[in-house]
Chains A and B, each alone.
Chain A
Amino acid sequence: MDVALSPNGRRLMRLFFALVIVFLYAPIAILLVFSFNSSPVPVFPLTGFTLHWYHDFLTNADIQNSLETSAIIAAVSSVGAVALGILAAIGLTRHRFRGQLAVSALLLSPLVIPLLVLGVSLALLFHELGIQRSMLTVMIGHVVITVPYTILVIRPRLEQIDSSLGEAAYDLGAGPLTTFRRVTLPLILPAVVSAFLIAFTTSFDEYAVASFLVGSRQTFPVYLYAAVRFPSRLPQVIAVAVVVLVVTLVVIVAAEVLRRRAEARLEAPA
């Protein structure tokens, strides 16, 4: 006898699971349908098939600029977050020290701060320092948000690595930097790539903090938020959003598959 589920319970749960999946995907599917619908307003009945909205967005400079701005911000801030994350993860993994729990709590605490509060706080900080809002201020905010994610991804991987590998390199005369570059980094590389992608997609989609720190160059979410308020821009916005959604999904799934493969390969010889 199955101790967790009766046959009927299993059937019922399978049905429930399917219903929830429909609930989760239906709204996205509806957006997809309307992005190909020829009417300029997203209402039933459907009026006909068009690629007009996709074509429009290819010629819309505002959208393209905002995508470019977001891509730059996401790239720079996730490189920064990954660099800080690697340092922090190694520092926390090496060995025990007094106050380690407090340091680890501080490094992870941006996970729970309401982004609204972080955005307001950083806006006040830059106001006090007299720093103009710009792409740089958004990048700074996004590094704060994404550092904890990079630590959470990289640290477990570091803990898996046999510490004798680093010691062996050290015994063979490698300095700390060489040991890191030749031994540690190659071993944690899959996790580093994952961390980068998580940070990148988080930054690319982030609105709350960016809305307080954005300068004259709008990020994509800031553009999207403003555009949602104008019904006439809706179909175009939906088309872009669908493209971004598909790209994000493909990148995330591909990255996860590649990471598993790479880690399996790194484990294999041992």
Chain B
Amino acid sequence: MGAGEGGLTLEAATAKQAAPARRRRRRFKLTTPALLGLPVSWLAVFFLAPIAIVAAYSVDVLVLFPGPHGFTLSAWRSLFSGTPYLHLFAKSVEMSLIVSAVVVLVAYPLAYFLALSGTKRKYILLLILIAPFLTSYLLRVLAWKVILGDQGVINTFLFWTGLRSPDDPLSFLLYSRFAVMLVLGYVWLPFVALPIFVTLETIDRGLLEAASDLYASRLQAFVRVTLPLSAPGVVAAFLFVFIPTVGEFITPSLVGGTGGYMYGNQIVDLFGTGFPDWETGSVLALFLLAVIAVLTVVFVRFLRAGEARAA
């Protein structure tokens, strides 16, 4: 890592020098805890402690309503013993996997075109591609609500042109699984091209030329050289979509109806005002967090292994 190298050279430089340098080094070492103390304690109090409290709720050590209580794993046990929650989680994972896969498949050629076609305007085109991601998330979801509804842009356009009778709109468009997946894909597509672009951009073109000199066709060069080298970017892109979408609740609550109801909506409802069940809600939230934490750790390991192989 860059920071490590910086530290090493500093250390090497100071080691070579005499007493005053050693004093300086000691001084630097003392400042590190002072610098990191505040950010680390901020996250300890407002990030780690809240998760610990959720954990306490999930095993009934803390409760919403006063009454007799103590440590119990019953909510955890019921999650894994055929309650609808696990089924809902599987549904969310499935939706999210499809969205991530489709979005990566669409984004890959875009990134490939920008990084490898040798176009001079690649950074401007990249900015144009990513700009929608920088605009309001809710606004982009709202746009699709306007487009997909029974009285939406698509349907009223079909009525207007006489392609479809006003009594018979395409009603699967809004408040459905389809709507949720379409909108999630739309929202994340611009962002996903970025990590793929970055890995493709760092590929040494000389490798492709070497492949070509060795009589590899373009397809062979792509399959044997470009694709493997861009794998970290593809995996990163996939996870960058999967991680936020699997726990998504905003899009499904706006365009999902009952068909597009996801795991995240269930968590919100359990903490909501209707029939709150903080114990079960905490279990669901922690389970989601655990799955994502495992995925992240596996991914970081994968990247490290890749870097080690490259080095």
Contact = CB atoms under 8 A, between A and B. Distances in A.
Contact of A103 (B40, B46, B293): B40
A1 B118 CA distance: 13
Contact size class for A? Answer: 35 or more
B160 A44 contact: yes
Contact of B292 (A112, A143, A248, A249): A112
B142 A31 contact: yes
A107 B134 contact: no
Interface stretch (A59-67, A81-89, A188-196, A261-269): A81-89
A91 B32 contact: yes
A49 interface: no
Nearest to A145: B47
B176 interface: no
B264 A252 contact: no
Given A88-B36, A237-B142, A245 B50 contact: no
Interface in B22-42: 24, 28-29, 31-32, 35-36, 38-40, 42
A6 interface: yes
Given A30-B153, A107-B40, A24 B218 contact: no
Nearest to B299: A112
Contacts of B71: none
B94 to A, nearest CB: 17
A84 B38 contact: yes
A91 B41 CA distance: 14
A100 interface: yes
**Dominant SS among interface residues on chain B:** helix
B278 A147 contact: no
Contacts of B229: none
Contact of B218 (A6, A87, A207): A6
Interface residues on B, range: 35 or more
Interface SS of A by simple majority: helix
B198 interface: no
A114 B142 contact: no
A27 interface: yes
A2 B211 CA distance: 12
Contact of A128 (B38, B53, B140): B53
B53 A124 contact: yes
A249 B128 CA distance: 11
Nearest to B151: A43
Given A114-B247, A225-B250, A143 B143 contact: no
Contact of B47 (A100, A144, A176): A144
A224 B218 CA distance: 49
Contact of A16 (B42, B51, B109, B288): B109
B190 interface: yes
B157 A44 contact: yes
A163 B10 CA distance: 8
Nearest to B25: A95
A148 to B, nearest CB: 9
Contact of A117 (B2, B139, B211, B289): B289
Interface string A97-134: 10010011011011011111110111111001000000
27 contacts: A4-B116, A5-B116, A5-B117, A14-B113, A24-B186, A43-B156, A44-B156, A84-B38, A87-B39, A94-B35, A96-B4, A96-B7, A103-B36, A107-B43, A114-B247, A118-B50, A122-B50, A124-B53, A124-B62, A125-B46, A125-B49, A141-B46, A144-B47, A156-B2, A159-B6, A205-B136, A238-B142
Interface of B: 2-4, 6-11, 24, 28-29, 31-32, 35-36, 38-40, 42-43, 46-51, 53-54, 57, 62, 106, 109-110, 112-114, 116-118, 125, 127-129, 131-132, 134-147, 151-153, 156-157, 159-160, 186, 189-190, 205, 208-209, 211-212, 218, 221, 226, 243-244, 246-250, 254, 264, 267-268, 271, 278, 281-282, 285-286, 288-289, 292-293, 296
Pairs of residues from A and B, 10 with the lowest C-beta to C-beta distance, nearest first: A121-B50, A91-B35, A114-B247, A95-B7, A27-B143, A96-B7, A4-B116, A91-B36, A88-B39, A3-B208
